[in-house]
Structure 1
């Protein structure tokens, strides 16, 4: 079976031909540099395991170990330190590893499978981008979605532009990118970004319930998402070029911008303490 990881928990459900990978974090539930480095190894292990026909695979599902948070996205404390120290190399490593992760998810890790994000808590920033990289998004009514980067004069640089502008009309995509607003799962469903709101069951039961509903049409669904990616192709080069702009923008942030970023970090830390 797959190796044990610190930041990812993996389970294979043979009766559903489904692999479930769960995001695990210590502290603020975000994507750390160590977590992204580990994700590269996890992605390679996943490809090796499921290239073997001993493990038939139809669905790849991501979810979170946190009940109230899918993922809060970028490691703002790491960003702050890099920006203050003019550490362009550190920012670029983080950005490139993020693109590797997003593109692996977008391409279903080069495996013949449909990817599903199970979002049962807040998906902010890079967490929202991660969810959007999947073929399908299953949510509950409590989940919230947001791209907050404009609040500190930055932009979401790990896939949001590429994914939103392919999935939505330009006006709606721009509204989400510019506004920094928090959206409910109902609003995301109405936009067409969420495929189903599932409140009857939670966790893996919600996934099983959903897959039972769509599995009869697996051949169509799998082919459908392959076709969409041909009609609206997304190359990794595009994602890297955009994230290079993000690195440059980080290094241009002023003291006021960084202060607003620090306020968000402080709010995240307070929220974390309340849950401990």
Structure 2
């Protein structure tokens, strides 16, 4: 069974010098923002180790927000982004999924899925802190990575970033937040279209569909995010926080709803046919090739792993 070892929160007195295997934490005083970066050398999907660290960071930020350390490091924004060129994240750990399905290990799928929706739910509630959350995307943001992004208050992306929910390609569905979060943003009809098509969309297309909030030129995501947060006097931050809270009140997300949907995902995925499982395994191999190719790829080159791989 896949183990997700839950870890206690980091010591707030050591912020911003927290150390993780898969994440890098930065603090920007000008914008009062904490940046959660996927490391360049981190796995390009949500492995059990990365999930454990993301949950630990969630708990650490909550402790930080209630500590006296917050006076020294004011905290208004949480930004999720990646330092890997060309890849934000490829989403769920398909190797773990495929191995669990092969051995009919539903418990591993459920354990993994519960950890994911615990994280997504925390993001959807802005970690229960008086902050605004921003997801800043460059490169490929697929599957579970898009589900995590959708839980943030606002999404900013480079116009050539690539978004998609490819799960339909192996006869399952995105079960870790996409149904709930997309419906809250764009309604049920467009949500069904995006999920059932398995199509890949550019950042520009996602902006036109009103899934994301703002686009920027290729190669400018970090500067654009800083500019978006710049705010003399905090007027923009207060307005954004109010808008995000109004969205939560008008379209509430419950942990129970996310759990019930993700358990449907686990049951559906555990029953996929052999041909679908082989397709999933081919996609795992394609992701591994992507990791290897990325080491030698020219900067900015797109190496898209699509649902047709």
Indicate which of 7, 27, 50 corresponds to 1:12: 27
Asked whether 1:36 is paired with 2:68, we answer no
Asked whether 1:134 is paired with 2:152, we answer yes
CA offsets, 1:110-156, max 9 Å, x none?
Answer: 11111000001111000111111111111111201000000001100
Question: What residue number does 1:222 align with?
Answer: 241
- Give the distance between the partners of 1:138 and 1:213, measured in 2 at CA: 17
Asked whether 1:46 is paired with 2:61, we answer yes
- Give the distance between the partners of 1:99 and 1:178, measured in 2 at CA: 21
Question: What residue number does 1:264 align with?
Answer: 283
Question: What residue number does 1:243 align with?
Answer: 262
Offset of 1:169 from its aligned partner? 2.6
Asked whether 1:90 is paired with 2:90, we answer no
Indicate which of 188, 211, 221 corresponds to 2:206: 188
Question: What residue number does 2:216 align with?
Answer: 198
- Give the distance between the partners of 2:178 and 2:225, measured in 1 at CA: 25
Does structure 2 retain, via aligned residues, the 8 Å contact 1:200–1:206?
no
Q: Give the secondary-structure state (helix, strand or coil) at the position aligned to 1:70.
A: strand
Structure having the higher helix fraction is 1
Asked whether 1:68 is paired with 2:86, we answer yes
Offset of 1:212 from its aligned partner? 2.3
Offset of 1:51 from its aligned partner? 2.0
Q: Give the secondary-structure state (helix, strand or coil) at the position aligned to 2:30.
A: helix
Counterparts in 2 of 1:161 and 1:200: CA distance versus 1, 3 Å: closer
Give the structure-2-normalised TM-score: 0.85
Is the deviation greater in 151-160 or in 207-216?
A: 207-216
Asked whether 1:254 is paired with 2:254, we answer no
Give the structure-1-normalised TM-score: 0.95
Does structure 1 retain, via aligned residues, the 8 Å contact 2:109–2:266?
yes
Offset of 1:171 from its aligned partner? 1.9
CA offsets, 1:222-275, max 9 Å, x none?
Answer: 111101100100001100000011111121111111011112112212222211
Unpaired runs of 5+ residues, structure 1, are: none
Structure 1 runs of 4+ off > 3 angstroms?
25-28, 213-216
Is the deviation greater in 254-263 or in 25-34?
A: 25-34
Offset of 1:41 from its aligned partner? 1.5
What's the RMSD between the two structures over aligned residues? 1.7
Question: What residue number does 1:158 align with?
Answer: 176
Q: Give the secondary-structure state (helix, strand or coil) at the position aligned to 1:149.
A: helix
Q: Number of aligned residue pairs: give it.
A: 276
Question: What residue number does 1:24 align with?
Answer: 39
CA offsets, 1:184-203, max 9 Å, x none?
Answer: 11110011111111117624
Does structure 2 retain, via aligned residues, the 8 Å contact 1:28–1:269?
no
Does structure 1 retain, via aligned residues, the 8 Å contact 2:113–2:266?
yes
CA offsets, 1:141-188, max 9 Å, x none?
Answer: 120100000000110010000011111132211110100000111110
Indicate which of 183, 187, 203 corresponds to 1:169: 187
